[in-house]
Chains A and B, each alone.
Chain A
Amino acid sequence: MSELLLKVRDLMIEGRSDETWNPIINGCSFDLNKGEVLGMIGESGAGKSTVGLAAMGFTRDGCRISGGTVEFDGIDLVNASAAVKRGLLGKRIAYVAQSAAASFNPAHRLIDQHTEGPVQHGVMPREESQEDAMELYRRLRLPNPEEIGFRYPHQVSGGQLQRAMTAMAMACRPDLIIFDEPTTALDVTTQIEVLASIRDIVEQFNTAAIYITHDLAVVAQMADKIKVLLKGDEVEEADTRTMLSDPQEEYTKSLWAVRSFQRPTKPAVPADAVPVVSVKNVSAAYGKVPVLFDVSFDIHAGRTVAVVGESGSGKSTAARCITGLLPPTSGVIEFDGEPIPADYRSRTKMQLRQAQMIYQMADTALNPRKTIGEIIGRPVQFYMGLTGSAKRKRVDELLNEIELEPSQYFHRLPSELSGGQKQRVGIARALAAEPKFIICDEVTSALDQLVAEGILKLLAKLQDELGLSYMFITHDLATVRSIADEVVVMKDGRVVEAGPKKEMFTPPHHAYTDLLLSSVPEMDPDWLTNLLDARGVDNIGDAAVGKM
């Protein structure tokens, strides 16, 4: 019954940089039968997306297929002419991109973009395709399937957009869909809806799929078999259950073991201790729109407070209030028991020095035109007044602290560093001010799991050495489990629940905390099925939140 659809053999891809061709993929082979889902995992830069695109006979600008074959249903895609590929892409092979918000054309309605493919390929006329779109929206459990297609992309939520994009990929009933990290940009609670929808529809139409992701737990729910890539090399391939229970290669085992990092529980804070930072009854608004309502929490010396919640829950806004970027409408921020000015412009240099920030996107947090030495050296000079060789010495110390070799990195630009290294430089810049308190705003969410673990270990080490306090903003509960001492759960600008980590992770929970906790994918391939059964199929995501 299994009929071979896609055959990739010894695929080699090269990319052009600095006038030479460098190998990106060094020989990758796999088969895909009709109706089968292949999960492709690896760190960023492993070549997952490149292989995924090559399965469509396509390479990004500056790349070329230098060897091997890609055979789709007997058609050689590597040597096929542009005209032959045009006939296949969109009709028999479809692609779902990571960011649906960036991939939809904001100037056209969803349904107009949906019908373009079928009409262009002559599969069905526009009216029929519109009917079909509504049917697909219904099957993907989008709200108001008759009406939602007539909205513009900015009028629907991120998770809905991602489902609309899956519907669009289904428009011509393709034989193969390539999903390139379709849920990476979504919240855990939204992710579940999209995962469930994708899995259902792929099953219903017996479509083959390549599912690219860096999240093992996600791929375990979706794929029939898994392929692991590392820096352009194949590591191993096996069916999902074998792969999860019995990985063969060292690298795969290290991927599986990555979430093991855990810090020892610290003794309780004495009742009379003065918190380093204290947020007292803070409310804040952007213009006239209120976003924070009466938020209070304390951060004690040498402790990590994790603030969790979905996007839009006010976690980052709380941080902006502490740094003084957004003066609160009411309430006070206290450092060491002393209230400080609400606006950062009225704060003294000393007060500014005390609280430093590490950002989510290291790419935008480091000035791309400055060398690492300049970036770290500036706060050293600005706050400590060091210049010349004293400054250089301090920067070298800081670079050693973040485990980057000073002689090698001092003169580099941020673009010459990997994502994890950039994040380390961001940490060094914060440390250079010798602060007591650091706000970490989603510092690991843009990083691969192995790299993220390295950053978490580094932060923990620095905390033990220097007695720093962290406010750790994240939506990833696994990170909370490994690093936090106390947890604050936020929703819609309010603190829902707060307390020591141990209490938070043991039932009974607040209903919202429970939803968050149960939405984190687990490595068990039956997890999604069981969860949906437990919640009731019609009751996922939005519905579950709305009920509370």
Chain B
Amino acid sequence: MSTWLSILIAFPVMAGVAWVFRFAGQSATSNKPFFRDMPFGVAFGYVVAAVAILLAFKIYFIDQVLFFRWAMQGLIIFTVSAFLFRLLGRLVGTAGSRKLFRSMPLTAAFGVMIVLAYAILAIFAPVFAPYGEEQVFAAANTLPGGDPATGGDPAHLLGTDQIGRDLMSRLIYGARNTVGIAFATTCLAFFIGGSLGFLAATIGGWLDQVLSRAVDVLMAIPALIFALLLMTIASAWSVKLGIPLTIFMILIIAIIDSTRVYRLARAVGVNIVVMDYIEAAKLRGEGLTYLIFREILPNATAPLLAEFGLRFCFVFLTIASLSFLGVGIQPPLADWGTMVRDLAQFINFAQFSPLTAALPILAAGAIALLTVAVNFIVDWMLQKSSGLKE
């Protein structure tokens, strides 16, 4: 009860501090526009942020919050390395690349560092992983930390799962499976949806009608349920035909997601097709391929790139959800979605061992972090391409 009470009290106190903060700022800087025009909400935001940072400091030194400590350390290390990376880019290289880095916000550099780290881990998984992804150890020890004093096993830094496979190795191999498959699926979805969308926009007429209505039908069925249904059918086929289920999964998710890409590509394409330069190219007698790839596509890259970042995350989450439901990537292949599902049962032990109960956060966090990083990069690209237009 006292926690709730303290939160209840904390808010009016913070509101008061925010008012004092703004007032003090106004008098100290003799009414500079920054403080003069600061809405109360913004002042309150500053105070809340300050409180959050203070709280983070406090929690950092509690023993049980090993994962939080690691996250904080990772955050600081990656921020510093992102800063250095950007600094390096600004000092070295050609005039063009230096200009690119000058316009790069720190968040984008952070995203690039994270994506690089994931890529390196995925490509060189056997080098970084201490054990094999399918290797089972007799002494299963689910306590992370590797500190013998609290009962951990120094050989497994993140502990093992319930049947004794090293979690760190599985996380690293999981990057390879989950991210690799998601990337292939997204590319395929963009290839299908993008080309059909531009085709519909350029030719129009009945082709546009047929494609658009077909896409409407596909979109009317809830995506995850549709995928589940198709995957169930595909799992029967894959046994009969001897094709790995993963291939079916890539195809199914790519087709379902290509409907969204089609919609976007068509909408963007329709706006570009009415431009005078397209009319000029048509009157010149240019063919369809030239129109689509040389005139329309260069002007559609910004929205398509943004969609690619988002779509990648959605595909990624769909794969994780399918695996979580048991029809996606099949065991014993390591995959983050499956790992969240398998480790989720540990939540029941929260009272006895909070660290063990927090294990599913590792895989979920890996998913979340990549999603955020990709979006940081996409935001930057969007800002760059929209800035170019003006």
Contact = CB atoms under 8 A, between A and B. Distances in A.
Contact of B283 (A19, A323, A369): A323
A374 B33 CA distance: 48
Contacts of A544: none
Interface stretch (A205-213, A327-335, A356-364): A356-364
A415 B388 contact: yes
A357 B282 contact: no
Contact of B276 (A19, A349, A364, A433): A364
Given A81-B36, A325-B283, A366 B388 contact: no
A85 to B, nearest CB: 10
Given A19-B102, A81-B36, A415-B389, A368 B284 contact: no
A357 B280 contact: yes
B277 interface: yes
Contact of A382 (B276, B277, B286, B301): B286
Contacts of A324: 283
Contacts of B285: 344, 347, 349, 352, 382
A367 B284 contact: no
B303 to A, nearest CB: 13
B284 A433 contact: yes
A349 B284 CA distance: 8
A365 B277 contact: yes
Contacts of B301: 369
A82 B298 contact: no
Contacts of A429: 280
Given A367-B295, A370-B298, A81 B37 contact: yes
Contacts of A370: 298
B298 A357 contact: no
B33 to A, nearest CB: 8
Nearest to A361: B276
B277 A366 contact: yes
Interface in A291-332: 323-325
B275 interface: yes
Nearest to B278: A367
B23 to A, nearest CB: 15
B279 interface: yes
B299 A352 contact: no
Contacts of A433: 284
A232 interface: no
A349 B102 CA distance: 47
Given A82-B37, A382-B285, A415-B389, A325 B279 contact: yes
Contacts of A367: 277, 295, 298-299
B380 to A, nearest CB: 15
Nearest to B37: A82
Contacts of B102: 19
A379 interface: yes
A368 B389 contact: yes
A365 B37 contact: no
A393 to B, nearest CB: 21
Nearest to B298: A369
Contacts of A378: 284
A364 B299 CA distance: 12
B120 to A, nearest CB: 32
B279 A368 contact: no
A357 B283 contact: yes
A164 B298 CA distance: 41
Interface in A11-64: 19
Interface string B258-294: 0000000000000000011101101111100000000
B299 A368 contact: yes
Contacts of B283: 323-325, 344, 352, 356-357
Contacts of B388: 415
A352 B282 CA distance: 10
Interface in B198-246: none
A239 to B, nearest CB: 37
Contacts of A357: 279-280, 283
A318 to B, nearest CB: 16
Nearest to A83: B37
A364 B275 CA distance: 6
A158 B284 CA distance: 34
A379 B299 contact: no
B230 to A, nearest CB: 38
A215 B261 CA distance: 47
B277 A344 contact: no
A359 B276 contact: yes
Contact of A359 (B103, B280, B295, B298): B280
Interface in B89-140: 102-103
A281 to B, nearest CB: 24
- Highest count of chain A CB atoms <10 Å: which of B275, B277, B279, B283: B277
Contacts of A415: 388-389
B284 A352 contact: yes
Interface in B158-206: none
B271 to A, nearest CB: 11
Contacts of B280: 357, 359, 365, 429
Given A325-B279, A352-B285, 17 more contacts: A19-B103, A82-B37, A324-B283, A325-B282, A344-B282, A357-B283, A359-B276, A359-B280, A361-B276, A364-B275, A364-B276, A364-B277, A365-B276, A366-B277, A367-B277, A368-B389, A379-B284
Going nearest first, the 10 A-B pairs with the smallest beta carbon separation are A369-B298, A365-B276, A359-B276, A367-B277, A364-B276, A352-B285, A82-B37, A364-B275, A349-B285, A81-B36
10 contacts: A81-B37, A82-B37, A323-B283, A344-B285, A349-B285, A365-B275, A367-B277, A369-B298, A369-B299, A369-B301
